[in-house]
Amino acid sequence: MQVMAQAQAQGTLLINESMARYNSWRVGGKADRLYIPVSLDDLSFFLQSLDAGEPVHFVGLGSNLLVSDEGVRGTVVVMHNALNRLEMDGGMVYADAGVTCAKLARFTAKHAKQGGEFWAGIPGTVGGALCMNAGCHGGETWDSVYRVLTIDSKGVIHERHASEFLATYRHVEMPVENEWFVGAWFKLADGDAEMSEQKIKTLLAKRLATQPLNLPNAGSTFRNPEGDYAARLIEACGLKGHMIGGAQISEKHANFIVNLGDATANDIQQLISLMRNKVKEKFGISLQQEVRVLGNEMGGVK
C-alpha cells in the first residue's frame, strides 16, 4: 500500500548528532543527519524527500550496535518511541518496530498468549528483533512471525508474508534490498497469563544474576557456535576482565564487553578482535560476531 504524502516532515531532524546517545554502549561519532519520525506517515514522507542514493540506516534502541568513532555518513532514522503501536488484531499480536521487546513480552503474557516470554530478555526493539531474528532461552523471533510491514527507500509501505523471508540463527535474509521493518503480526498459541508472567519473572531474575546490566553493553558479542558457548570459549582463553582503554571483557559474563565510563568504539573493536583471535588460536573455532557495526570500517570488524 502507498502512504499518503504530507505537506512537510513533522519529526525531528538533527544535524551532526552524536550517536553515543542512541546506542547502549554509549560510544560512537556523529551522524551527518538523524531523524526521529512521529508516525509511519511522517517516516514515509521523510524518506520520499531524501535525495536518490542517500545512505539510510535504521536504529532502534541501538542495543546490538557498535557505532564507529568516525561517525555515520548519510541519515540515521531512530525508531524507538516513534512507532509504538501494540495491539491485538484478529487473534494475533501486532507490534510496531519501535516497541521494545520487553513491552511485547509483557503484552503477550497479559493477553494469555504463550511463546513470547523470551522477548523479556532481549534489550532491543521489535524492529531489531525482526532484523536479526533475536532470541534467547530457546525462543526466536521468527518462530511466531506471521506477516510484516516494511518500508522502502521511496517511502512505500509493503505488507509481506513470513514465507518471503529466510530466517536462520541471528540472521534474516530480506527478499529485496533497501527495505526496513516497521511492524509485524505475531501468531502465538493460547496459554495462561499467570504462568507466562511467572516465566518472565524467572527469566529476568536469571538475566540479572548472569549479565552485567549495571554497565553500558551491547549484549552478546558473538553468536554461540554449534554445540558450545562463546562465553565458555572466551573465558577458557583467560580473557575475563581484560581491559583495553575504557572497555572491558565483563568479569560477570565473558561474551559481554562493558564500557567502564570512557570507552571508545576503537577500544571495543580491539577487544572484539582479541577475543576472536584468541579463541581461533586455542580452539580452532571462528566466532561469528553478533554485534553489528554502523559507520566507517573499523579494523576488519563488520
H-helix or E-strand spanning residue 281: helix 265-283
The 8-class DSSP code of residue 153 comes to: T
CB-count exposure of residue 18 (10 Å: 0-12, 13-18, 19+): middle
170 annotated active-site: yes
In this structure, are strands 189-190 and 113-114 parallel, antiparallel, or unpaired? antiparallel
Cβ 130 vs Cβ 140: under 8 Å: no
Q: Out of 63, 170, 196, 250, which one is annotated catalytic?
A: 170
Would you state the torsion angle of the CA atoms of residues 71, 20, 213, 103, taken in this order, to the nearest 10 degrees? Answer: -100
The dihedral through the CA atoms of 247, 290, 38, 49 has a sign that is positive
The single residue of 26, 117, 196, 290 carrying the catalytic annotation is 290
- Strand ranges, E, within the chain: 12-18, 30-36, 56-59, 65-67, 72-78, 86-89, 92-96, 113-114, 135-136, 139-140, 145-152, 157-161, 166-168, 171-173, 179-186, 189-190, 243-244, 247-249, 257-259, 292-294
For residues 207 and 197, what is the distance between their CA atoms, to the nearest angstrom?
15
Is there a catalytic annotation at residue 290?
yes
Exactly one of 144, 196, 220, 250 is catalytic; name it.
220
- Active site annotation includes 232: no
Q: What is the DSSP string of 61-99?
A: S-TTEEE-TT-EEEEEEE-TTTS--EEEETTEEEEETTS
Which residues are part of the catalytic machinery? 170, 220, 290
